[in-house]
């Protein structure tokens, strides 16, 4: 077991003042990717478009606001030395604790005033960055470990890791290993590739109305993620491979592809929607029927309007039966 060598704990008053000033000038924002906020532009919505990307847009926007994440709110509050809530409980603000070093050989309390200690503590937590905090601790003049811990409001863990990873010229060489361990249930790369290969087998088409403004691709309207997943199961099982869960399949589909399922315009009748979706060649064959269909539609609308008008003009306020046309 490694023991803390108290002689390694050093405080340099002059350096710490510089660092305090520097820190407040930079006014660092601890939401790591705050620059990413608002970079996602809403897709241009066209009236002629039968597909809106709004739900996806909202989803992406929520995911991007990292400054609202609980973990980042906690980090930010802790670095500002105000009370914060971690995963388990409400924690008091970081502040240097009272300590009596009158008997200590380094005479820590007589070398550092209470105001110095408050500034040092604020500066340390204000960095909000693992390596900068470690470098800062290396600037300290010789003090005892108790005083060091009480001033910075830390346990002996951070001191241990500094002492373990100090270079011959007094720099911190370690790296932040917290939260870097690969989770045991992580989907393996091979499984992920299989899922992606499967998704890419399906034919896709560009959006008809918003081709220029949208990069979204559309899968056939009769497909769904569940249907695709059951096809994936049929595909994987004969190969004696363990399939990923539907949730994982869905996550890969949603996160790695800008795909949607084509939905034909709702207010179109069968004739119109057949014509809309037909290829240029097919359209030539449908042209005559479609033109006749449009003429009948117009006649029907005119007749309906005339009926409405007649009804409004009649003082008795009759109930008009609108003619139903079979067009």
Half-sphere exposure of 288 (CA within 13 A, CB side): 1
- CB nearer Zn ion, residue 73 or residue 104: 104
- In the list 4, 104, 286, 300, the residue contacting Zn ion (rule: CB under 5 A) is 104
Minimum CB separation from Zn ion for residue 145, in Å?
Answer: 8
Query: Applying CB under 5 A, what is the total number of residues that bind Zn ion?
Result: 9
Mark the segment that binds Zn ion (CB under 5 A) among 35-43, 103-111, 127-135, 197-205: 103-111
- In the list 81, 121, 138, 144, the residue contacting Zn ion (rule: CB under 5 A) is 144
CA 174, 177, 180, 184 dihedral sign is: positive
- In the list 30, 84, 112, 147, the residue contacting Zn ion (rule: CB under 5 A) is 147
Minimum CB separation from Zn ion for residue 45, in Å?
Answer: 24
Minimum CB separation from Zn ion for residue 149, in Å?
Answer: 11
Residue 108 sits in the site that holds Zn ion (CB under 5 A): yes
17 to 56: interface string for Zn ion, x by CB under 5 A: ----------------------------------------
Question: 8: closest CA among 170, 116, 175?
Answer: 170
Q: Are 108 and 139 in contact (CB under 8 A)?
A: no
- CB nearer Zn ion, residue 108 or residue 228: 108
- Residue 124 makes CB contacts below 8 A (sequence gap 6+) with 133, 136, 137, 152, 154
The span from the CA of 164 to the CA of 171, in Å, is: 11
Minimum CB separation from Zn ion for residue 288, in Å?
Answer: 15
- CB nearer Zn ion, residue 147 or residue 232: 147
Enumerate the H helices of the chain as residue ranges.
13-26, 54-64, 70-79, 108-111, 114-127, 130-137, 145-152, 156-164, 189-199, 225-236, 246-256, 270-277, 280-313
Minimum CB separation from Zn ion for residue 293, in Å?
Answer: 6
Question: 235: closest CA among 180, 194, 265?
Answer: 194
Q: Are 93 and 82 in contact (CB under 8 A)?
A: yes
Minimum CB separation from Zn ion for residue 292, in Å?
Answer: 11
- CB nearer Zn ion, residue 149 or residue 161: 149
Q: Are 320 and 310 in contact (CB under 8 A)?
A: yes
What long-range pairs does 200-206 form, CB within 8 A, spacing at least 24? 202/228, 204/259, 205/262
Sole residue written with tokens 């005119």: 302
Mark the segment that binds Zn ion (CB under 5 A) among 34-42, 51-59, 271-279, 302-310: 271-279
Residue 223 sits in the site that holds Zn ion (CB under 5 A): no
- Residue 225 makes CB contacts below 8 A (sequence gap 6+) with 246, 249, 250, 253
* CA 236 and chain centroid, separation: 31
- What torsion, rounded to 10 degrees, do the Cα atoms 58, 63, 66, 72 define? 120
Mark the segment that binds Zn ion (CB under 5 A) among 58-66, 143-151, 158-166, 318-326: 143-151
- In the list 93, 118, 154, 272, the residue contacting Zn ion (rule: CB under 5 A) is 272
- In the list 54, 71, 173, 269, the residue contacting Zn ion (rule: CB under 5 A) is 269
Minimum CB separation from Zn ion for residue 104, in Å?
Answer: 3
Minimum CB separation from Zn ion for residue 48, in Å?
Answer: 16
- CB nearer Zn ion, residue 204 or residue 300: 300
Residue 101 sits in the site that holds Zn ion (CB under 5 A): yes
Residue 4 sits in the site that holds Zn ion (CB under 5 A): no
Question: 191: closest CA among 256, 253, 244, 247?
Answer: 244
Interface residues with Zn ion (CB under 5 A)? Answer: 101, 104, 106, 108, 144, 147, 269, 271-272
């Amino acid at each position: 077991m490694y023991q803390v060598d108290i002689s390694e704990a050093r405080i340099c008053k002059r350096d710490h003042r510089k660092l305090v000033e520097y820190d407040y000038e930079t006014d660092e924002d601890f939401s790591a990717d705050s620059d990413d906020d608002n970079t996602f532009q809403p897709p241009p919505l066209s009236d002629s478009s039968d597909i809106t990307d709004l739900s996806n847009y909202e989803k992406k926007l929520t995911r991007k606001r990292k400054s609202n994440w609980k973990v980042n709110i906690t980090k930010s509050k802790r670095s500002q030395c105000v009370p914060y809530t971690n995963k388990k409980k409400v924690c008091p603000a970081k502040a240097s604790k009272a300590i009596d070093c009158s008997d200590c050989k380094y005479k820590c309390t007589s070398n550092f005033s209470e105001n110095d200690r408050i500034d040092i503590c604020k500066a340390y937590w204000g960095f909000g960055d693992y390596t900068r905090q470690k470098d800062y601790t290396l600037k300290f003049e010789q003090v005892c470990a108790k005083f060091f811990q009480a001033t910075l409001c830390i346990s002996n863990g951070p001191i241990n890791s500094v002492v373990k990873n100090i270079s011959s010229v007094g720099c911190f060489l370690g790296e932040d290993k917290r939260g870097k361990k690969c989770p045991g249930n992580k989907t393996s790369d091979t499984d992920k590739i299989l899922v992606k290969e499967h998704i890419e087998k399906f034919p896709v088409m560009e959006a008809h109305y918003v081709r220029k403004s949208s990069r979204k691709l559309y899968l056939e309207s009769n497909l769904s993620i569940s249907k695709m997943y059951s096809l994936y199961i049929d595909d994987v099982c004969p190969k004696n491979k363990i399939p990923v869960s539907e949730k994982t399949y869905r996550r890969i589909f949603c996160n790695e592809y800008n795909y949607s399922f084509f939905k034909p315009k709702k207010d179109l009748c069968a004739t119109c929607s057949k014509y809309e979706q037909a290829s240029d060649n097919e359209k030539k064959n449908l042209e005559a029927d479609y033109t006749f269909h449009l003429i009948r539609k117009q006649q029907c609308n005119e007749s309906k309007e005339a009926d409405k008008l007649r009804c409004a003009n009649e003082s008795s306020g009759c109930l008009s039966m609108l003619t139903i046309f079979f067009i």
